[in-house]
Amino acid sequence: MDELRDMLTEHGATLVGYADLSPLPAEVRAGLPRGVSLALALDPPIIAGIRNGPTAKYMELYRRSNALLTELAEAGAAFLRERGDRAEAWRATGGIDRGTLSVRTQHKTLATRAGLGWVGKCALLVTERWGSAVRFASILTDADLPVGEPVDESRCGECAACVDICPGEAPQGVNWRAGMERPEIFDAFACARHMRERQQRAGDDITICGMCIACCPYTLAYLRRSGIDPNAP
Ligand code: SF4
Ligand code: SF4
């Protein structure tokens, strides 16, 4: 489906992949058998700036990226519907179940099924080229798409950078495999609790941290290729 990929990249998507979702339970894919995973690579200087903690610039980038990704997902879904396919945009954020801090359809599940990357020890989607400095949105569809080869296992290996740096002690130090439940590798409540306490101390509106993104060796390689020295003061 080159036309869809071209349209999404022309409008700003960095990465587009197609996923076979049919092995997943029908309720997590709205009964639709395939998915489109689309991503934005995040601005390298801003990512380098969160090595030691969150910044207002990163929060602004996070909000801006989510808004663009949601627009892209809606445009892609409209494109497919005009062709006569069923399609549902799954926005970049929202739809969180407060009891589990999880969503019905995980963007990272689509991304791994599309072959774009794996789930790191920090529970973020990690790509070979941009590390975890990427954000995702998704489209669920019945369109006939050339699906990618799923990634079923972590490529973190012995790395524990995000485990060691996390001030909330959220990553459990476990390598992901497809089908694992998030609590086996990551305590989302510990991450949220740390951020809530940090926000109360700082008295700002920054609700995300991102240190686990900036320390990842795959992210650091992306920053270096972008001409940034991650160790510069
Ligand atoms: S966002 Fe911050 S607190 Fe949450 S897992 Fe990453 S490093 Fe830990
Ligand atoms: S920092 Fe290391 S363990 Fe964490 S996601 Fe990146 S490669 Fe995996």
HEC sequence for the chain: CHHHHHHHHHCCCCEEEEEECCCCCHHHCCCCCEEEEEEEECCHHHHHCCCCCCCHHHHHHHHHHHHHHHHHHHHHHHHHHHCCCCEEEECCCCCCECCCCECCCCHHHHHHHCCCCEECCCCCEEECCCECCEEEEEEEECCCCCCCCCCCECCCCCCCHHHHHCCCCCECCCCCECCCCHHHCECHHHHHHHHHHHHHHHCCCCCCCCHHHHCCHHHHHHHHHCCCCCCCC
Task: List all residues whose CB is within 6 A of at least one atom of ligand 1.
Answer: 122, 166-168, 170, 191, 194, 209-212
In testing the pocket of ligand 1, which one of 163, 191, 197 has its CB within 8 Å of the most ligand atoms? 191
Query: What per-residue confidence (pLDDT) applies to 95?
Result: 56
pLDDT over threshold 90, residue 20: yes
Q: Where does the pLDDT of residue 119 fall: very low under 50, low under 70, confident under 90, or very high at 90 and above?
A: very high
Q: Measure 158 CA to ligand 2 centroid, in angstroms.
A: 9
Q: Where does the pLDDT of residue 57 fall: very low under 50, low under 70, confident under 90, or very high at 90 and above?
A: very high
Q: Ligand 2: does its nearest atom lie under 6 Å from the Cβ of 122?
A: yes
In testing the pocket of ligand 2, which one of 218, 219, 222 has its CB within 8 Å of the most ligand atoms? 218
Closest residue CA from atom 4 of ligand 2 = 162
Is the separation of the CB atoms in 120 and 132 below 8 Å?
Answer: yes
Across 40-56, average pLDDT? 93
Q: Measure 130 CA to ligand 2 centroid, in angstroms.
A: 12
Across 217-226, average pLDDT? 96
Closest residue CA from atom 5 of ligand 2 = 120
Give the count of beta carbons closer than 10 Å to the beta carbon of residue 229. 9
Lowest mean pLDDT among 25-29, 175-179, 228-232: 228-232
Query: What per-residue confidence (pLDDT) applies to 58?
Result: 93
pLDDT over threshold 80, residue 97: no
**Residue 152 in tokens:** 């079923």
Higher pLDDT, 210 or 104: 210
